[in-house]
Structure 1
Amino acid sequence: MTTTEPFEGWELKARIALSDQGLGYHAANPIIADVRAHCEYTGESPYEAFGEPKDFAATTAAEQPPELLEKVDREGMTVMDYLTGQLFVLSLAAVVLPLFFAVKERAWSFPATTSALTGTALLILALFAVGGVPQALRASGRPHLMKFSYIATGAFGVGAAAAYARLPHEHLFPVPALAIVALALISLYLLTRTPTKPAALVPYVAPTPRTARPVGAEMWLTRLTGLLIGRYDLAPERAGDLTREAQAHLAESGRTPEEEFGPVEEYALEVSRHEPIRKEPFYRTRPAQILGGVVGVLICGGAFIQWVGDGPWWAAWLVAFPATVASIWMLSRTVRKR
């Protein structure tokens, strides 16, 4: 593996490896921030300082307190990973299959019958029971219960077949194919969005660079860089300059960082108070996000109206309409966000 790879390439592999070890997205954030701070300060690549991502993840996870680690199995998966993974597969199928049958049958709604509704519900339960529940039970440490999941799968499967064959087939109401697709897309979004940040993170153990001493001035200075960048939002270049100034001062005085400056947390806070507050880029502000959402709704909604009146019907209903619904939903979410 080349050591000239951008930091982001190493970070992505390290995050995946950390997740496999039980360190989720938010738990890994401060660890990755420490690695970035060390590399910014020393000029080393993450491969030089911390090694291959998999080795780094295994070593780092072993040093963390048990309460910080998620309960993962040998595949690096949690109980919820298996359950949500199966929901993702079912949601993806709910996007593709209605469109396929709508095009095949040249009809954009399906007749809802008692047999179809009951049979489809039981079939979904059967697929969920066979595809997600057994692995989740194994990951939870209860493999002896897996047989009951397979028994439930058989029961749901038989029930689905009986429902399709024996229940009434009278038409109740039409079900629009695009409504199914829209619900499935919402489900996919909810399943793939960034995890919610916990109210309070468990204290973690900072990773130890292979090229650095475990204690001493170098570690104190590296920690200072990380605090200035991560906690007090200084630009990496400015944080590096301030750390080098502190290092030069220590070289002249011959004293330790603790003797000269005190605890690194207090010194970082003191230094940050003398720095101008970084102005947040406009594109990251709430007004900019609302403006972008309004523009998205206008563009998608305008395209839908135009194509419905005079344009390709498939583009109106398969492209513009879902995009308009998604834009409105995202805009309302941005407006409600505080």
Structure 2
Amino acid sequence: MSRFDRWERSARLELAERGIGFHEANPLIEDARVFHVESGEDPWVALGGPAEFAADVAAAFPAETARRDVHGKTPRDYFSDAAFILACFGVLGAPLGALSAGSLTIPLTLAGVVGATLSALSVLAAAIPSASRAAGRPRLAPWGIVLSGVLIIAGGTAFTQLPRTRVGELPVLLLLIVSLGACWLLTRPTRPSAATSPGNATALPGNATALPGNATALLGSDAALLGSDAALLGSDAAPLGSDAATGAAPAGSDAAAGAAQAGSDPAAGSTPARSGSGGDPREPGPWFARLEAVLIGRFDVPPSRAAELVAEARAHVTEAGSHPADEFPSLAEYARDLAEGEPVRQGPWWRGPTAALLATVAVIAWWLVLVVDAALDGKWWVAVLGAVAGPLAGRFLVDRYRAWAGRSQPSKV
């Protein structure tokens, strides 16, 4: 693997963390490759570090990054991931079902149909907690966990208690085609605009620190590059044409005032005023409540600290004698500026290493029960698949354990 290949792998991971997916990153990587070859320098010298490169690229779209959470995802991304998991189950289930049935059709029973439907809904419901936080609605997250649990229990009850009367047959080829089609629809690349094609992209500068000046030409101003799912975010879908590269708000008691000056004073330095978001609450009370929810849900600011930041912002608005929407035209961008000034972020417990380890142990235990049960029933092909998947599951469990054992403090940003 060449030096540039190593740089590219790290850069793609950093870009993905900022909401720029594989296909969207392709023209950027190609331009970086061309510049690296022409310069004859090491990629870390010619292009800067991957994290620096990704941060500079993301800075060209402040409103786009403001509507994505700390994992670079929007609510739609979480539901798409859940749908993709279901599609993958369909791809794997088609040949396994054919082997189990010994034919090209899978018998359908009432218990199987109802149980499978409820199980699929539980997978989609499992995306609600993360999606609701990304939408700035953290109070909905616990209800998503409850709904997913109820659906899992209902699905298990349906599988075991409902009649196993045959109600029809499902062609294996149909299931495979539908599942593959769903995988393609969920992973197909976004159609780039003319400005984002490699042939029309502006050449990369000699170093990464100069990238923001050309980032608009590199990325294009078309929101389709990073996905056009703003409707799912409701009030936080600020126009992509706005430029809010204001930097992180200073931490401490001056955080709100610092971010306010960056957002409302276009004469300060060379930073232009950002565009407002017409969907933000107009009344001060709901506006500040929404700000606190976005800080907690989307940007993982601890609730106590989020309340302090909102209090400082409220005090600033009161002192200025104005309206919060006038001081901060875009609530989402202002929340992002405040969050970037915070040295510590801490997400919910169910996204932490302890919950991940427990979930992994539960899934592996469930799979072992299925494998042993299948072996006792003489379904050796299931036992063989379980043995093949064993090393992979073990490696995954070890990684989860190491992440759990290495936890000592909230994540640093």
The 8 Å contact of residues 31 and 207 in structure 1, kept in 2 or not, is answered as no
Give the whole-Å Cα distance in 2 for the aligned partners of 1:167 and 1:11: 52
Q: Report the counterpart of residue 188 of structure 1 in structure 2.
A: 183
The 8 Å contact of residues 102 and 177 in structure 1, kept in 2 or not, is answered as yes
Give the whole-Å Cα distance in 1 for the aligned partners of 2:169 and 2:116: 15
Give the whole-Å Cα distance in 2 for the aligned partners of 1:21 and 1:209: 23
When structure 1 is superposed on structure 2, of 152-161 and 187-196 the one drifting more is 152-161
Q: What is the Cα deviation at residue 145 of structure 1?
A: 0.7
Q: What is the Cα deviation at residue 34 of structure 1?
A: 5.1
Amino acid at match of 1:191: L
Secondary structure class of the residue paired with 2:170: strand
**1:99-248 matches, cutoff 5 A:** 99-130=95-126, 132-164=127-159, 167-197=162-192, 208-210=205-207
The 8 Å contact of residues 18 and 24 in structure 1, kept in 2 or not, is answered as yes
Give the whole-Å Cα distance in 2 for the aligned partners of 1:172 and 1:161: 19
Secondary structure class of the residue paired with 1:175: strand
Q: Report the counterpart of residue 13 of structure 1 in structure 2.
A: 10
The 8 Å contact of residues 24 and 70 in structure 1, kept in 2 or not, is answered as no
The 8 Å contact of residues 64 and 205 in structure 1, kept in 2 or not, is answered as no
Per-residue CA deviations over 1:84-110 (Å, capped at 9, x if unaligned) read 222222221222234224323424322
Per-residue CA deviations over 1:112-146 (Å, capped at 9, x if unaligned) read 2333222211111012212x222222222222211
The 8 Å contact of residues 17 and 53 in structure 1, kept in 2 or not, is answered as yes
> Does 2:77 match 1:81?
yes
1:47 to 1:108, Cα distance in 2 relative to 1, 3 A: same
Q: What is the Cα deviation at residue 200 of structure 1?
A: 7.8
Per-residue CA deviations over 1:143-199 (Å, capped at 9, x if unaligned) read 221111122123323432444455554322211233222221221222222223358
The 8 Å contact of residues 26 and 197 in structure 1, kept in 2 or not, is answered as no
The 8 Å contact of residues 36 and 47 in structure 2, kept in 1 or not, is answered as no
Give the whole-Å Cα distance in 1 for the aligned partners of 2:39 and 2:11: 20
Q: How many residues align?
A: 213
Amino acid at match of 1:143: P
**1:280-299 matches, cutoff 5 A:** none
Please identify which structure carries the higher helix content: 1
Q: What is the Cα deviation at residue 57 of structure 1?
A: 1.4
Q: What is the Cα deviation at residue 33 of structure 1?
A: 5.6
Q: Report the counterpart of residue 94 of structure 1 in structure 2.
A: 90
Per-residue CA deviations over 1:226-274 (Å, capped at 9, x if unaligned) read 9xxxxxxxxxxxxxxxxxxxxxxxxxxxxxxxxxxxxxxxxxxxxxxxx
Q: What is the Cα deviation at residue 36 of structure 1?
A: 4.4
The 8 Å contact of residues 15 and 54 in structure 2, kept in 1 or not, is answered as yes
Q: Report the counterpart of residue 39 of structure 2 in structure 1.
A: 42
Secondary structure class of the residue paired with 1:10: helix
Secondary structure class of the residue paired with 1:174: strand
Segments of 5+ residues of structure 2 without an aligned counterpart are 219-413
Amino acid at match of 1:175: L
Give the whole-Å Cα distance in 2 for the aligned partners of 1:211 and 1:111: 58
Per-residue CA deviations over 1:208-237 (Å, capped at 9, x if unaligned) read 5338989xxxx99xxxxx9xxxxxxxxxxx
Give the whole-Å Cα distance in 1 for the aligned partners of 2:54 and 2:179: 35
Amino acid at match of 1:49: A
1:31 to 1:127, Cα distance in 2 relative to 1, 3 A: closer
Amino acid at match of 2:149: G
Q: Report the counterpart of residue 240 of structure 1 in structure 2.
A: none
Give the whole-Å Cα distance in 2 for the aligned partners of 1:26 and 1:98: 28
Give the whole-Å Cα distance in 1 for the aligned partners of 2:85 and 2:21: 22
Give the whole-Å Cα distance in 1 for the aligned partners of 2:125 and 2:31: 42
Secondary structure class of the residue paired with 1:110: strand
Amino acid at match of 2:3: E
Amino acid at match of 1:179: L
Q: What is the Cα deviation at residue 37 of structure 1?
A: 5.2
Give the whole-Å Cα distance in 2 for the aligned partners of 1:33 and 1:143: 38
- Answer with 1 or 2: which has the greater Rg: 1
Amino acid at match of 1:74: V
| Structure 2 counterpart of 1:55, from 49, 52, 55 | 52
Amino acid at match of 1:5: R
Secondary structure class of the residue paired with 1:67: helix
When structure 1 is superposed on structure 2, of 204-213 and 100-109 the one drifting more is 204-213
The 8 Å contact of residues 39 and 46 in structure 2, kept in 1 or not, is answered as no
Give the whole-Å Cα distance in 1 for the aligned partners of 2:20 and 2:185: 21
1:71 to 1:199, Cα distance in 2 relative to 1, 3 A: farther
The 8 Å contact of residues 31 and 206 in structure 1, kept in 2 or not, is answered as no
The 8 Å contact of residues 137 and 146 in structure 1, kept in 2 or not, is answered as yes
Give the whole-Å Cα distance in 2 for the aligned partners of 1:110 and 1:33: 46
Amino acid at match of 2:104: W
